[in-house]
Every structure is written in C-alpha cells, then in structure tokens.
Amino acid sequence: MSAHRRAAVLGSPIAHSLSPVLHRAAYTGLGLDGWTYDRFDVDEAALPGFFDKLGPEWAGLSLTMPLKRAVIPLLDGISETAASVDAVNTVVFTADGRRTGDNTDIPGMVAALREHGIQQVETAAILGAGATASSALAALARICTGEVAVYVRSEARAAEMLEWAERLGAEVRIGDWADAEEALCAPLVVSTTPAGVTDTFGQGVPERPGTLFDVLYDPWPTVLADRWSARGGAVVSGLDLLLHQAVLQVEQMTGRSPVPLAAMREAASNALVTRS
C-alpha cells in the first residue's frame, strides 16, 4: 500500500480531458494504489480559492486552458522551460510546502517527435499562432537548425510570434494564412489549429510529404492527417503529445520512473473508442 496522495487536472471546460485516464493508468502500472487523480472545472477567477483549500495530501496539478498563465502568480517559482513561453501546465507540491511550476508540453512535443524518428530537422513550418503554437516554436527551437515558417491570420498574431522567436532564439519567417498551403512542403509541419481549420488543405499535400504533427486527437484522424498518411507521410498526433507530456507530469508528481507509456496509450485509445 502507498500513502494517500491526490492529483488532478484543472481547466474550463474540463469534462473532455483524457488526463484522468492517463494518470490513473500510470498509477496502476506503478503500483501506486493509494493515489487518486480527478478533474475539476476551474476558471481563472476560482483558481486562487482552489489553491487555498489544498491540503498536504496533494502532490500535483495538471493545468489546461485558461489557467496556464493565470497560475504563475500563485507559485513560488517556475522552471526555465515554463518561463520561456510564460505558460505552466504542471504544478508540483514539494515536501517543504513549495509550489513549483513547469511546462511539459514543450519537452513532450520533442519526445513525441523523437518516438517517430525525428531528432533534428533543417526547416519546419507551423500552422496557427495561438497558445499551442508558442510551445511548438519552443520545441522546434530545440531541434530545428534553420528557419521556422509560421502562417498566421493577423498582424497581431505575427507580432506575437516574432516576439516569441526573439525570446527563444528561433529563426522565424511569418507567412500569410492565404499562403498556408506552402507549409505542407516543409520537412516537418506542426498544425496547431482548431478542428476543421485545415480540412481544405488535404488536396495540397505533396506527392512525397515529410512529417505532420497535428496537435488534435479527437476526432481523429483529421482530414489533413488522413490525406497525409495516404500519401505515405509520417503523422504524429495530439495523442502522442498528450501521452508524452503526461509521462513527464507523472514522473515529477510521483518521483517514480520509468512511467508505463504503453499502458497509458492503451487506456487512452480505449477511452477514445468508447467516446466515439
């Protein structure tokens, strides 16, 4: 038996989150039968009050939108990785009572690409410029030796991505969304857009595509991912990202390793089948 410890994912909305499925599968595989992992619908206004009620049994929290920046003032410190994009998706409560924040999305993206054989690329492209795009740019700053083309809809988004590029030390070229299909010729394409946005790009997939990293996972496959696979290109899914960032969260919250990635993947796949 292990001592009772608690963890949870917070966000709003949160009912769709697969994090409980992933973390509970990890706990089972690690033999942590005294650990529980829940989900709570918490918005920015309610976050400070939620923190105030946490007891010593709490080991950590996973955070999704809209809390990744709102949580930072409530913490005692954040990692360099989290600071690089001003976003925290992981909070760990230490034995001495400190609340520390990290971002596992960035190394999670790198790990997901590595699992698919992508260690380094000369150039890459990002579709979209929202919150996930900044994490994608931070990940690419670690593995891309040359230019990253970012296709955006507005001048404001373009300015934001250029600011992130300067902070991250990445070489970025901004492209207009009207020309976004040009991105599909890059050796690595990261699509960070909401469901349906890239559906019309399916016909623009080149004869010999490189690798597509589509951060969506439900519904899956996306039209773009399906067309990409049909052309023989490699596809990394949002589920791959979700898994690898969750593995890092479990490691930090429990202090245990190796985390059972295969069991987590199976549990997530079964949950998605049940949903459909």
Just list the catalytic residues. 68
Sign of CA dihedral 120, 171, 202, 204: negative
Q: How many angstroms separate the CA atoms of 110 and 162, rounded?
A: 21
Alpha helices in the chain (DSSP H): 19-30, 47-52, 80-85, 105-115, 131-143, 155-168, 223-230, 238-254, 261-275
Burial class (CB in 10 A: 0-12, 13-18, 19+), 89: buried
Task: Give which of 267, 256, 196 is closest to 31, Cα–Cα.
Answer: 256
Distance CA 126, CA 170 (A): 13
Q: Cβ contacts of residue 51 below 8 Å, gap of 6+? A: 74, 99
